[in-house]
Amino acid sequence: MIFESISKTEHEEVVFCHNKDAGLKAIIAIHNTVLGPALGGTRMWNYASEQDALNDVLRLSRGMTYKAAVSGLNLGGGKAVIWGDPNKDKSEALFRAFGRFVNSLNGRYITAEDVGIDVNDMEYVYRETEFVTGVHQVHGGSGDPSPFTAFGTLQGLMSSLQVKFGNEDVGKYSYAVQGVGHVGMEFVKLLHERGAKIFVTDINKQAVQRAVDEYGCEAVGLDDIYDVDADVYSPTALGGTVNEATIERLKCKIICGAANNQLATNEIGDEVQRRGILYAPDYAVNAGGLMNVSLEIDGYNRERAMRMLRTIYFNLGRIFEISARDGIPTYMAADRMAEERITAIGKLRLPHLGQHAPRFHGRRAG
């Protein structure tokens, strides 16, 4: 079953990591390294089964390949999941054991933080391997990627506004933001600074209240966000929120947000296109965090990171051009753009085997 799964998804390597003493059960999936070493975060989640964990890491790692490719990065796609409850099962031993497995791949996979993981957990991983991004600034890292992901989302939004309305005036339009976690709150802040009307919802009522108090947002119910008469629907938390149940209710003209896997199915993406809603492909929009941490490989520089994030605007513009040129939905245009780049570079390179591992210039040991 495992070989059948990875054959369908075209993964290069899947590593099962186990350390009984540390309580570690983890999976590292390397999808494609044609463009460079696989970079992708580690997620800690209390999966219902081993199969659920495997399915998740295969899906996420493949998505990272497309995100890196469409963003113009010299990186491949990978991801890791740790099977456990992030509220109860974390320990120094667990993360250091995981770090040793990452190190054993000799740079073919570079990790970072993801759902259930924070910069403090990455500190333990960093003690065992240099192949970690998103480490604290005291080590020469970039720290929390949330502000960069939000700023990149803003660039994607501006590109979408230009195509749909012929201008980039964020403040002229209204936004239904689904999720105000770390990235969502930063995005709301950027919208507020530009004078936008913002509706927000989140399972975390305190976060919603903060958005109301600090940024003048209007709170709506979790299920009511789909009925809001806003120009833009911005999913910034859950995946799959554009689905058969919600598509009939959305009144927006643009879908642009930071969440992963926003379209429940490709068929929904086709329907979005048919309805005249402009969909900004999620992995092109939310690439800011990946772009930011990727710079740690050559030596992190914040000014360089902000300049790189602005390329998201032009990447989205290219996707919209391909969509119009080929008469295909934008989600399909994004895939085509990524696949064309991988194919072109693949004629020049073989998969990254770690012999010339990145050195992370400017890093300082703990």
For the residues of 292-350, what is the DSSP string, one character each?
A: HHHGGGT---HHHHHHHHTHHHHHHHHHHHHHHHHT--HHHHHHHHHHHHHHHHHTT-P
Q: Percentage of residues in the chain with pLDDT exceeding 70?
A: 95
pTM (2 d.p.): 0.86
Please give the residue that has the higher pLDDT: either 288 or 298.
Answer: 288
User: Amino acid identity of 17?
Assistant: C
pLDDT at 14 over 90: yes
Side chain identity at residue 334, one-letter code: A
> Is the predicted pLDDT of residue 117 greater than 60, yes or no?
yes
Active site (catalytic) residues: 79
Calculate mean pLDDT across residues 214-238: 96
Q: Could you give phi then psi for residue 16, rounded to 5 degrees?
A: -95, 125
Of the pLDDT bands very low, low, confident and very high (cuts 50, 70, 90), residue 349 is: low
Average model confidence (pLDDT) across the chain: 92
Pairwise CA distance, residues 279 & 269, whole Å:
8
Question: What is the reported pLDDT for 134?
Answer: 79
Q: Is 157 exposed, middle or buried (0-12, 13-18, 19+ CB in 10 A)?
A: buried
d(CA 93, CA 99): 10
CB-CB contact of 81 with 3 (8 Å): no
Q: Bridge-partner residues for 198, per DSSP? A: 175
Quick one: pLDDT band at residue 352, thresholds 50, 70, 90?
low
Rg of the Cα atoms in the chain? 20
- Residues 259/264/265/270 CA torsion (nearest 10 deg): -80
